[in-house]
Amino acid sequence: MSRWLQAPLYIGLVVAQALYVWQFWHELVGLVQKMSVSNISENDIMLIVLGLIDVVMISNLLVMVIVGGWETFVSRLDLQDHPDQPEWLSHVNAGVLKVKLATAIIGISSIHLLKTFINAAQYDVKTLTAQTVIHLTFVLSAVAIAYTERLTHPPVGKGH
């Protein structure tokens, strides 16, 4: 029964996701207002859109953690044959969830790094180098997690 102590944590993440939805709409409305009022540069549009993509990717990460974590650690959701069941949920376990989370973090880090490089003139070399090293650390960590998962749970059957 102690697994149910985690339930409020996942409910809190649902609240956090609602805040990200609010953030997305706030940024989108801001973009529309800027485009209708002033002459906004293509670079500024790109940065705002990358910010929107970042919010969406973080929200996707939250969905994976909420649904996958609940299913793995709290209680089964019994979504078999439900039209809204995420495809990845049918084969989720703690290892698969870790790999999915690691790749989502790489995607989010890529967006942040791209935003930094678009504005590279505003950053010093130390900051650019540090962000690149951090991103590469995420990539290497994800590869290590995926490799470890494959070693501990090798694929079964042909064609996998």
**Interval 92-120: pLDDT, tens:** 667 777 887 888 889 889 998 998 988 88
Name the 3-class secondary structure at 37. helix
- Residue 34 token pair: 């800027």
Report the pLDDT value the prediction gives residue 20, as an integer from 0 to 100.
92
Report field, pTM of the whole predicted structure over 0.75: no
Residue 2: predicted pLDDT: 77
For 60, the token pair is 């996707």
In contact, 9 and 74? CB cutoff 8 Å? no
Q: Report the pLDDT value the prediction gives residue 25, as an integer from 0 to 100.
A: 96
Closest CA to 51 of 22, 28, 32, 35: 28
Report d(CA 116, CA 31) in Å as an integer.
19
Cα–Cα distance between 7 and 137 in angstroms, integer? 31
| Distance, CA of 107 to CA of 101 (rounded, Å) | 10
Over its length of 160 residues, how does the chain's per-residue pLDDT go in tens digits? 777 888 889 899 999 999 999 999 999 999 999 888 888 888 888 888 988 998 998 888 888 888 877 777 777 666 566 666 666 555 666 777 788 788 888 988 999 899 898 888 899 999 999 999 999 999 999 999 888 888 887 776 655 5
What local confidence, expressed as pLDDT, does residue 66 receive? 86
State both tokens at 75. 């209680």
